[in-house]
Amino acid sequence: MNTKTILSKFPKFMEDWKKYKKKFPGVREWYIASDYCLNKDSEKPTKVITFTLCPAVNLEWLQDQINRFLKSDVKNRKNFSDVEIQFIRDNGYFFSIVIIIKNVDLSLVDKLKQTLDSWIQQLEQGEKMEILQNA
């Protein structure tokens, strides 16, 4: 089985990922959240997919931390206080992968959405995940 992913072609990303994972040596379970801005009719010019990972911690504690430092949804904000920026940059719990989609047929995005459930099932079953290279 080929266990290399397309992300391994980005050395800076791999370096950042390894550095992040070292902070959580005993973690065996992870939360993965995703957010999409892909609407063809959207007022936003950039199409973006974001995946954010964090160690599986007490969700109430995590929500409390977020609520303490971020008083509203960041999507609806243009300005942030120094404290909010520091929390976003330095909290250390979150690792985000942002994919900007330029000049791509959005049917590819539809295919990606369809495979997401399969990826999540693989992760839940502890299988190694492969990113589609011929999507």
Q: What is the pLDDT of residue 132?
A: 41
Q: What is the pLDDT of residues 64-106, one digit of tens each?
A: 888 888 877 777 778 888 888 888 888 888 888 888 877 666 6
133 belongs to a structural domain:
no
Beta bridge partners of 101: 47
111 belongs to a structural domain:
yes
Are residues 52 and 112 part of one domain? yes
Are residues 45 and 103 part of one domain? yes
Q: What is the pLDDT of residues 106-131, one digit of tens each?
A: 676 667 767 776 777 777 776 554 44
Give the chain's domain count: 2
Domain span holding position 17: 1-57+94-126
Average pLDDT over residues 19-45: 80
Q: What is the pLDDT of residue 44?
A: 62
pLDDT band, residue 135 (cuts 50/70/90) = very low
Q: Which of 132, 95, 129 is nearest to 112 (CA)?
A: 132
Are residues 87 and 114 part of one domain? no
Q: What is the pLDDT of residue 125?
A: 72
pLDDT band, residue 1 (cuts 50/70/90) = very low
Are residues 19 and 66 part of one domain? no
Q: DSSP per residue over 110-135, as a string?
A: HHHHHHHHHHHHHHHTTPPP---S--
Counts for the chain of helices (H) and strands (E), in that order: 4, 3
- Give the C-alpha separation, 36 to 56, whole Å: 22
Are residues 3 and 29 part of one domain? yes
